[in-house]
Structure 1
């Protein structure tokens, strides 16, 4: 067969049967012999798979050569191979691109014994292999054990249809892949010593042969970045330091240990403390920790509920705070009580502890109460400092206590709203109060970001992590000036951070920008200078094609600016029309600018979609006025924002096809997707993941439904506002839905029970509407496991390809016709 192009694989059709198309040997790279003196081939041993699999990572690397037993072997075009036969093993590499889902048959000729891998996954077969390749760049590796004549070796591909083509190119960049985004190494936990001379970091990654199990490596570094010690089986965030930074404490293999940093000697303090966690140095001689007693399983036939909280699987477990003498291991209970206690802070100098507990309380709002309790170890006494309907955290300051809570904390002390406007207490504010709990001052009324966490420095200042619009940033709160100062981490989203405060404050932080993968940085708080300690980009993304990011904001019909951003696929031809995906949440949080995550915008762009992400009214991080719009809205203003925003987006981006728009959201965003389907037909396909279809059933059945509704439906209940609970529930308007809808749900979801999707599915089926329901067995509210994550991502893209690209083959491959 003659080749019309050395770049593109072509097919010839005979009637309806497609003929095999030999792949040009110039598009096939060859390496060999690999270990030419090997006489016994892998298939003659009992370890064939292991021997071959150990080669795959090295063969798949972007390297021109391989060193085997001291000999250098280079890749070369298969066309240049003249040998009839050779010793050892040989390998072929094919790198190709697909502009859509491609399927067909790969056939090998002339190789008696071969192992075939597509993107690291081994394919079943002997001489013929089914090839299914999603949109993107791919690598096919063939390890040959037995070839009698290399001049007779050929690789053929037969596509199932004429559009099933493999494109061979010589481009130096690579499209982002699902495996790349999920498997790439990340820093999952960090802990810095008080003097900043050391830090512990846990790095994790995934690989094919380990399935869903993350590979973790926890390492102790000095300030120069040198490896000092490895802590196998330990998470860095569970490593705590003595005040002098000379000793660290951690749990390893069910043993509580200390590590002397100078001698690197480990000492076992105690063993088999099941349920114990959060060990910290109370002072040089004492540890403080929490210890949970798991409740008995109880009656096998019935469960007598003891309150609304009893729906939570952990509600009957009891957690208390304990002290342990390091030299003897003797343990002393601090907070024995019939209610669990959560340790918030301690002050060893004055022998006092701050903890919270939650007595049953269903009054409205917020149907929940937190008691802040101080325990005096000198007198073995305790006092309740206050009872609060909104409460997040508390820490000792120099002359009082810092608290984070909603604006209504302290009888509305944190409110920066007009009279009569209900505050969204998920918008977290900062307060100070005296140690008696009688004097409360709001510190963040003029600070729009919502505070997630904070660390009190020795001088009384704070390092805070705050949701700032769609970013998660670090700030310094200067106590003396009552001012917030942005810390320049050069990251959009700080995932994790740890603070050292023995000398000048230093922060170790890990995070990303919207367009760059994770880094680990060190920040000097005093001069606000940052340096990079570790960067995943050159490790896993050095050739990656990243979407172009553009900020896109508009002013809605109510006069409020709605922020957003647009991801434009790499190399997009703006002279053509392209499909687009619109993503939102609509609940109490903005959609983060993280580089990747459960909803990977950069990956969607790689698959040819322009992606518009917007932040509808009601999200935290934009100020109290903005977040208050969430209260008692349930899809009204937020839906209008999404519709208006999509129209503004279409006006601004003329290369987006108005007839090929997809929209999707999860949880409250899933509710928004269902709501939008009842309000507009502007979308061509919609996806709701774990969405709410009936506000009443979610309110009463979701584990935290009644608590979330205390803000989202403040003062409203099915008996006093049936209109809200019915007419603003999507299922009550199901007859208005005209858009194809995919419902996705974990069948073990306790947050938004799977029945919420079943209710909408039932309604739309009876209405003869185009609806699909995919359940993930054993999955809760989020899809975490690696294999399910890949399948889930594929499901969403396959569904949109079917409806927005008129390419149903991927969906049909996964779920049939």
Structure 2
């Protein structure tokens, strides 16, 4: 008999990602990430697999995180990044065995790299100080004194950066070429700009580089892509318009460059597309304009680690593959240059990483679904047949009872249909009544998906039903649907969620309407705050990394000064509108016992948002508690310090057990 899932089972779940197929199409490498409970750290190791036999061998074993594996053009070795010496440096390992060789010792480490087709060079990007070169050494101070940080721009901090979240000053990402014969480095880009290394042509003569050379980036929201001649450094602009573009890849014949991106029509709610640039004709077409769903993976989950799936993959026949988020799935899609587009994988799952053979016959896909954390499969695309290659989560699946959610859909007041899922409690018995928790995702422009979610399974294991839906603002549906939340936070999105609750209750007599809970993080935390300020239907609530006050959020969040305008439709020239959309305004109405969870180093939704809400409610003698998590950022629930992720889950469960 299987046991119920626990919070600590997070330590038993492995993440399988980064499949990379060798040039001969007969073997591949991938990464397995695990959480070491004793060391309280994430470790990621490189594995090799023979595709014909399925034989798997582990190539790295250290206490490190491997990332970005990439085969050499001759297929004899694999380069990868490793933090085994603190900073990410570049290593190369021969496929026939032996230790990996460290080939860079850069002060800031290596951000990214690309093999040159010649096989004897690797293009790298790294941060270097203004006025310095790749070969200059930074002198270490024995006892460095604290230094003032002079702020003269608005994009000066960022969530996820160590310390105070301040963006390093006078440091720029530059591109260079590493010569493997003598390990010398020749710098390629210059200037005080951030360069991203995108793609290299099959003949090695042209690079695609991302760089924005605007003098003031405060209100610049674009990522231009340039095609640069390696020898002459002559530049040709591929795209230079408002929006975000990247993930460039050359076709095998070098005639085309595919890339992903979205314009700024709906700000950060704009659907992503695949674009094709004709190198000779210097023209661009949007390949996916006819699809009213976004290109890319917008699913939220909490067990997949280190994912870096390609934006688009070419075959030798100039066919393309890419991910599409659609109707609660993330599927692999196929396209041709003449506009034929159709799904290449089934419904009901989340393909969170992938690689495709040069001939387009097979793909390696990393697949998850609500009761399957994820493994690697060899997928024969035309036949639709797949073979599971890895079994790292097999013991976990044999041991633990998991709940299969049921799809639900319901019509809301404006005629739209909202989709979601309902999980019964583990060990469900007919005739019994059970409490229900409503979970709300962040973003808001992300989506719940047919993917494994440990937190949701944990609540079900603790005896709760779980309702999670994709209200307006969620990705995976139409452009109009994802845009509908902008300027209307707390309006139609609120009614969508409450209508979902009403629908679930009407269809399931096991739901105890006197024992309801609600929780969510980021935008889901905002919505939790909003809900308890507008209804007393819930017996308990847990708000996580939330927004409570749009007025202060405008100035303290790393994205506040523009995100507020994009989402609420107002800035500090209209504080009344910001206040009307702020849950803090409605604090006096809150009667639901509220637990506030927040990370100390969250610079996306800074902890002062939680502090304001807590002190306000406490001053009103409301039932409220506040838990602060040290040394963690906005991503605590997904990539945070392992023991604190467990503590967070336990806090949520204990609060609901206490009040529901």
TM-score (norm 1): 0.70
Tell me which residue corresponds to 1:589.
Answer: 446
Offset of 1:273 from its aligned partner?
Answer: 3.0
Offset of 1:301 from its aligned partner?
Answer: 5.2
Q: Distance in 2 between matches of 1:585 and 1:259?
A: 40
Matched, 1:276 2:132: no
What's the secondary structure of 1:180's corresponding residue?
helix
Of 506, 520, 531, the residue aligned with 1:651 is 506
Q: Distance in 2 between matches of 1:337 and 1:363?
A: 15
Matched, 1:637 2:471: no
Offset of 1:728 from its aligned partner?
Answer: 0.6
Q: Distance in 1 between matches of 2:100 and 2:597?
A: 49
Of 150, 155, 169, the residue aligned with 1:304 is 150
Offset of 1:665 from its aligned partner?
Answer: 0.7
Of 226, 241, 256, the residue aligned with 1:373 is 226
Matched, 1:487 2:345: yes
Offset of 1:345 from its aligned partner?
Answer: 1.3
> Kindly tell me: are residues 229 and 658 of structure 1, through their superposed partners in 2, closer, same or farther at Cα, counting changes over 3 Å?
closer
**Conserved? CA contact 1:491–1:511, under 8 Å:** no
Tell me which residue corresponds to 1:52.
Answer: none
What's the secondary structure of 1:308's corresponding residue?
coil
Counting only pairs closer than 5 Å after superposition, residues 113-124 of structure 1 correspond to structure 2 as: none
Offset of 1:710 from its aligned partner?
Answer: 5.0
Q: Distance in 1 between matches of 2:216 and 2:128?
A: 25
Matched, 1:463 2:321: yes
Tell me which residue corresponds to 1:285.
Answer: 120
Number of paired residues? 612
Q: Distance in 2 between matches of 1:723 and 1:680?
A: 22
Q: Distance in 1 between matches of 2:127 and 2:284?
A: 32
Matched, 1:773 2:606: no
For residues 753-789 of structure 1, give each alpha carbon's deviation from its aligned partner in whole angstroms, at most 9, with x where no partner exists: 0001111112212222221111112221122222111
Tell me which residue corresponds to 2:589.
Answer: 736
For residues 216-258 of structure 1, give each alpha carbon's deviation from its aligned partner in whole angstroms, at most 9, with x where no partner exists: 4432222222245623347564321122322322356567544
What's the secondary structure of 2:436's corresponding residue?
strand
Counting only pairs closer than 5 Å after superposition, residues 55-74 of structure 1 correspond to structure 2 as: none
What's the secondary structure of 2:224's corresponding residue?
strand
Q: Distance in 1 between matches of 2:447 and 2:191?
A: 38
Matched, 1:788 2:626: no
Counting only pairs closer than 5 Å after superposition, residues 355-754 of structure 1 correspond to structure 2 as: 355-360=209-214, 367-393=220-246, 394-397=248-251, 399-408=255-264, 422=266, 425-435=269-279, 439-452=283-296, 453-488=311-346, 492-501=349-358, 503-585=359-441, 587-597=444-454, 600-714=455-569, 716-719=570-573, 721-754=574-607
> Kindly tell me: are residues 706 and 511 of structure 1, through their superposed partners in 2, closer, same or farther at Cα, counting changes over 3 Å?
farther
**Conserved? CA contact 2:112–2:197, under 8 Å:** no
For residues 14-33 of structure 1, give each alpha carbon's deviation from its aligned partner in whole angstroms, at most 9, with x where no partner exists: xxxxxxxxxxxxxxxxxxxx
Offset of 1:361 from its aligned partner?
Answer: 7.2
Q: Distance in 2 between matches of 1:729 and 1:267?
A: 53
**Conserved? CA contact 2:208–2:225, under 8 Å:** yes
What's the secondary structure of 2:389's corresponding residue?
strand
Shifted more, 271-280 versus 668-677: the winner is 271-280
Q: Distance in 1 between matches of 2:472 and 2:58?
A: 49
Matched, 1:185 2:14: yes
**Conserved? CA contact 1:492–1:594, under 8 Å:** yes
**Conserved? CA contact 1:190–1:237, under 8 Å:** no
Give RMSD over aligned pairs: 2.7
For residues 581-620 of structure 1, give each alpha carbon's deviation from its aligned partner in whole angstroms, at most 9, with x where no partner exists: 00122611112332134xx111110100000011110111
Offset of 1:324 from its aligned partner?
Answer: 1.9
> Kindly tell me: are residues 608 and 353 of structure 1, through their superposed partners in 2, closer, same or farther at Cα, counting changes over 3 Å?
same
Tell me which residue corresponds to 1:340.
Answer: 194
Counting only pairs closer than 5 Å after superposition, residues 158-307 of structure 1 correspond to structure 2 as: 172-206=1-35, 208=37, 210-223=38-51, 224-227=53-56, 230-233=59-62, 237-251=67-81, 256-261=90-95, 263-264=96-97, 268=101, 270-274=103-107, 275-283=109-117, 284-293=119-128, 300=146, 302-307=148-153
Tell me which residue corresponds to 1:92.
Answer: none
Offset of 1:672 from its aligned partner?
Answer: 0.6
For residues 55-109 of structure 1, give each alpha carbon's deviation from its aligned partner in whole angstroms, at most 9, with x where no partner exists: xxxxxxxxxxxxxxxxxxxxxxxxxxxxxxxxxxxxxxxxxxxxxxxxxxxxxxx
Offset of 1:526 from its aligned partner?
Answer: 4.1
Q: Distance in 2 between matches of 1:459 and 1:702?
A: 47
Q: Any unmatched runs of 5+ in structure 1?
A: 1-171, 413-421, 805-817
Q: Which structure's relative contact order is higher, taking Cα pairs within 8 Å and 6+ residues apart?
A: 2
Offset of 1:655 from its aligned partner?
Answer: 1.1
**Conserved? CA contact 1:189–1:201, under 8 Å:** yes
Q: Distance in 1 between matches of 2:416 and 2:2?
A: 41
Tell me which residue corresponds to 1:799.
Answer: 655
Q: Distance in 2 between matches of 1:362 and 1:380?
A: 25
Counting only pairs closer than 5 Å after superposition, residues 73-112 of structure 1 correspond to structure 2 as: none
Offset of 1:472 from its aligned partner?
Answer: 2.1
**Conserved? CA contact 2:211–2:224, under 8 Å:** yes
Which of 1 and 2 has greater Rg? 1
Tell me which residue corresponds to 1:84.
Answer: none
For residues 703-743 of structure 1, give each alpha carbon's deviation from its aligned partner in whole angstroms, at most 9, with x where no partner exists: 122343353235x3221x33321101111222222222111
**Conserved? CA contact 1:470–1:593, under 8 Å:** yes
TM-score (norm 2): 0.86
Offset of 1:800 from its aligned partner?
Answer: 0.5
What's the secondary structure of 1:304's corresponding residue?
coil
